Amino acid sequence: MQNKRILITGASAGIGRVLALKLAARGNRIVALARNREKLGALVAEFPEIETVALDLSDPQALRDFAESGWNGDLDVLINNAGVQDQHRLVDPACSAAVMIDEVTTNLTAPIVLTKALLPQLRASQSALVVNLVSALAFAPKDDAACYSATKAGLRMFSTALRAQFPRGELRVLDIFPPLVATAMTEGRGPEIGKGKITAEQAADAIIDAMDGTRDRALIGTARIIAFLSAIAPKLATRLMSK
């Protein structure tokens, strides 16, 4: 993946930040989209050629305004990476309507709306690619992340429908299914790195390898096991994800 104009959401931290730096180092023109202006500034300080867009994807009005304002210039690749996860059961008072709306808007509504808004520019490219960061939770949910799991299952289905709408040579849609990744969002959760959890660097390398390839999905690490188990023993897969 070289010499492309690539928009990455959630690019100020975690996997998105590593992706932005690695893809920029390859000679791609990166547009980093995130809500945190300070972190975007730090990203540009490290790689000045990166363009930035400050946008809160959890804000429906801001998302609508961005979608309706039009895109300035060309675009080859859209990476829908931004995501938030709340760790509560539905009976927990902390699991409020506001929290769930934030999750659904950021994780599912935003990728759908952005993809729709940017389709004209993407379809004008000879190498149009939409990359959706899904999750192993799209195959088997986590009991204390019901809303997050639902958004990732929805994103997986959106990719399938989008892929069906366009011939392969017109638009490629790539689903990425990472296992647990060590980021600020997952701090203190799950196993240690190397025992089911991977680093953001490892995740980014696997994503770029998948982008360089031709397949429609990439199952990373233990996500392969969960995807397999969900097909033959779904209850077991759910128990494993909920540990």
**H or E stretch including 129?**
strand 129-133
| Predicted local distance difference test score (pLDDT) of residue 190 | 52
| Predicted local distance difference test score (pLDDT) of residue 226 | 85
Greatest mean pLDDT among 41-50, 81-90, 195-204 lies in 41-50
- Dist. CA 142–CA 147, nearest whole Å: 9
In the block, which residue shows the tokens 């895109």? 71
| Structure confidence by residue, pLDDT tens digits, 6-17 | 999 999 999 999
Mean pLDDT, residues 131-155: 92
Mean pLDDT, residues 224-232: 83
Residue type, 94: A
Whether the pLDDT of residue 200 is over 60: the answer is yes
Token pair, residue 103, equals: 């999750």
Whether the pLDDT of residue 120 is over 80: the answer is yes
| Predicted local distance difference test score (pLDDT) of residue 194 | 46
Mean pLDDT, residues 172-180: 94
pLDDT band at 243 (very low <50, low <70, confident <90, very high): low
Mean pLDDT, residues 123-144: 91
Which domain CATH number covers 176? 3.40.50.720
Whether the pLDDT of residue 227 is over 70: the answer is yes
Give the count of domains, the chain.
1
pTM for this model (two decimals): 0.90
Residue type, 79: I
| Predicted local distance difference test score (pLDDT) of residue 189 | 52
Domain that holds residue 17: 5-241
Token pair, residue 130, equals: 């939409």
- Dist. CA 103–CA 83, nearest whole Å: 8
C-alpha 57 chain-centroid distance: 12
| Structure confidence by residue, pLDDT tens digits, 61-83 | 998 898 888 777 899 999 999 99
- Dist. CA 223–CA 42, nearest whole Å: 32
How many of the other CB atoms lie within 10 Å of CB of 11?
30
Q: How far is CA 14 from CA 86, 144, 195, 202, 216, in A?
A: 17, 22, 19, 11, 23
The per-residue pLDDT of the chain, averaged, comes to 89
pLDDT band at 40 (very low <50, low <70, confident <90, very high): very high
Residues present in the chain in total: 243
